[in-house]
Amino acid sequence: MAVAQGDRRPARAGLSLTRTIEKWFAGSARDLPWRRTRSVYGTLVSEFMAQQTQIARVVPAWERFMARFPSIQALASAPEEAVIASWRGLGYYRRARNLHLAARAICHDHGGVVPTSEAELRALPGIGHYTAGAIGSIGHGQKSPIVDGNVARVLMRVHGRDVDSTSSEGRQWLWSRAREFVEDSRSAGAANEGLMELGAMVCTPLNARCTECPIRKYCKAAKAGAQDRIPTVRKRRARKVVHAQVIIARIGGRTALVRRPTRGLWARMLFPPTIESDRVISKGALARRLGVAVDELHLGESFTFLATHREVRFRLWIAGAAASKVLKASHANEWTWHSRKALARASHSSAMSQLLGG
């Protein structure tokens, strides 16, 4: 098997590394619901959910989701609102929409069978190189490589090489090592899951548990005492701060909501009317902008929501009865009014739950 210059290794060393991880995974894998009864559909759902989300949050969400949509056909035929509602608490709702679209494409174009080829998988909404490899190896048993943050860290430490995983050269090196690794496997799914599990549970970013690591004898970073320096901790880009003035207007027990834009945070979801800005808007300026009396706006809760690239600083403004009537008239074509019962049924984010008090 071809390897990059400077990274050549005896064939049996790579084989032993892969088989050791497979054996370790068989005895040390966490008890996760999608591992108890394997299905390609269950793998598809778990991989979408696990993107940028802690496994502890994924477990109950996956179980609820699979109970609501037990098959890919059930998911494909469901309305988007129901899918979004079942995704509640996981965030990054674009993943839910992409999973829904992928399910519909699989049913429409592939007879309800998750495709096996990487090209067909990557043609589905929301599926990139990593997710295609995970579904191919874990779901279909194919020797498809995967690289996520955990895998990249393990591979760099094992090979004693610090690469920039965001660069073209770094990505190419990592995917080449991952392919070598999985090609030596007996069970591609177990090998890949074992590699991810090792990174998540043992070969962690800080304070790696090297004394418990099953592949310590193969690890160049551990031998050099460099495990805490590989990979280099790169400075994270600062989040953009967004100030959000949220208007809570109620008439006759009904609360005003608007549909969010098609792109950005909470895309297409129902949300209380919100004015976003780079700076805090004063109460007087907000009242003038809304066309209501200053004394009809009452400051409520303030809290901060951290997204991947944004820090949203919410300030709630409770509109009085007179202001709510003015706002209903001036936004008749934009705002919709919802009962408490309807709000409970609607799909909405954890941020909206906090804004509306539960």
Residues identified as active-site: 47
Does residue 231 have a cis peptide bond before it, meaning omega lies within 30 degrees of 0? yes
SS (H, E, C) the chain: CCCCCCCCCCHHHHHHHHHHHHHHHHHHCCCCHHHHCCCHHHHHHHHHHHCCCCHHHHHHHHHHHHHHCCCHHHHHHCCHHHHHHHCCCCCCCHHHHHHHHHHHHHHHHCCCCCCCCHHHHHCCCCCCHHHHHHHHHHHCCCCCCCCCHHHHHHHHHHHCCCCCCCCHHHHHHHHHHHHHHHHCCCCHHHHHHHHHHHHHHCCCCCCCCHHHCCCHHHCHHHHCCCCCCCCCCCCCCCCEEEEEEEEECEECCEEEEEECCCCCCCCCCEECCEEEECCCCCHHHHHHHHCCCHHHEEEEEEEEEECCCEEEEEEEEEECHHHHHHHHHHCCCCCEEECHHHHHHCCCCHHHHHHHCC
Are 227 and 219 a contacting pair, CB within 8 Å? Answer: yes
DSSP 8-state class, residue 124: S
CA distance 120 to 41: 15
